[in-house]
Amino acid sequence: MALSPVPFERDRHARGLSTLQRIGGPDAAAPLLALTDLAPDLVRFAIDFAYGEVLSRSGIALKQRQLCTVAALGAMGTAAFQLRWHIDGALNLGWQPADVLDAVVFTGATTASPAVARSLGTVREVFEARGIGADSLRTVDDAVACWRQGIPWEGRAGFDDRTRHLIAVSALTAVANAPARLEAEIVTALGVGATREEIVEVIEQMAIYAGFPAALNGLAAARAAFVR
């Protein structure tokens, strides 16, 4: 007789809730759980699969995963509420405001996404809501001005080249419109110390935010990059 999947399902759900709360705090599940009466299967999928299986995996640290999510959502520009939530989550996990800002600007430059100016507005909204100081708000305004005028952004982030290129891989996977650029970015990421496992993890993670087709195409680019 086949073993019951119930214990596994319970473990996965508990792991998903734990990961969700690490990112968003003790009430992080509330927006999802509010949809239970309307779409209980989607709520279960989001908690058990997205957070319980994917984001809780050990192939890359949750803190780095979170910055990858911010970068991807910032480049996509199609989910302002989710971007706002994940910016909060990145700050909760220990990233500094400058790190979050530079992640959005850097991946905007990498993907040439027209959504970045709008996403930078979301960054500013989160900083204001959290009472982050005037200096950080002025820095966001400076970044927006540079972006609109096509002036390269100097950046003030503290993350290293490995993290920089992993978030670029995430964003390019998510926008799914530049496979050659993605392949080249993966090669660069390998050259600055990212592992194959880390690259595959962040590409797979994009299935949650950009869909399975984007992730599958990203993995095709990774396969090509790995055999160069």
Q: What is the pLDDT of residues 124-183, one digit of tens each?
A: 999 999 999 999 999 999 999 998 888 888 777 778 999 999 999 999 999 999 999 999
According to the model, what pLDDT value does residue 9 have? 76
Pair 162, 198 in one domain: yes
Pair 39, 140 in one domain: no
Cβ atoms of 81 and 91 within 8 Å: the answer is no
Q: Please check whether residue 199 lies inside any domain of the structure.
A: yes
Q: Please check whether residue 30 lies inside any domain of the structure.
A: yes
Q: Please check whether residue 3 lies inside any domain of the structure.
A: no
Pair 96, 188 in one domain: yes
Among 56, 71, 90, give the residue marking a domain's end: 56
Pair 111, 202 in one domain: yes
According to the model, what pLDDT value does residue 122 have? 97
Q: Please check whether residue 1 lies inside any domain of the structure.
A: no
Among 20, 37, 56, give the residue marking a domain's end: 56
| CATH assignment of the domain containing 78 | 1.20.1290.10
Pair 129, 153 in one domain: yes
Q: Please check whether residue 34 lies inside any domain of the structure.
A: yes
According to the model, what pLDDT value does residue 154 have? 78
According to the model, what pLDDT value does residue 228 have? 83
Spell out the SS3 assignment of the chain: CCCCCHHHHHHHHHHHHHHHHHHHCCCCCHHHHCCCCCCHHHHHHHHHHHHHHHCCCCCCCHHHHHHHHHHHHHHHCCCHHHHHHHHHHHHHCCCCHHHHHHHHHHHHHHHCCCCHHHHHHHHHHHHHHCCCCHHHHHHHHHHHHHHHHCCCCCCCCCCCHHHHHHHHHHHHHHHCCCHHHHHHHHHHHHHCCCCHHHHHHHHHHHHHHHCHHHHHHHHHHHHHHHCC
Residue corresponding to tokens 């990233």:
95
Pair 27, 120 in one domain: no
Pair 124, 38 in one domain: no
Counting the structural domains of the chain, the total is 2
Cβ atoms of 227 and 187 within 8 Å: the answer is no
According to the model, what pLDDT value does residue 124 have? 97
Pair 86, 27 in one domain: no
Q: Please check whether residue 113 lies inside any domain of the structure.
A: yes
According to the model, what pLDDT value does residue 5 have? 47
Q: Please check whether residue 15 lies inside any domain of the structure.
A: yes
Domain that holds residue 140: 61-226
Pair 73, 50 in one domain: no
Cβ atoms of 146 and 152 within 8 Å: the answer is yes
Q: Please check whether residue 81 lies inside any domain of the structure.
A: yes
Q: Which residues of the chain have pLDDT under 50?
A: 1-5
Pair 50, 66 in one domain: no
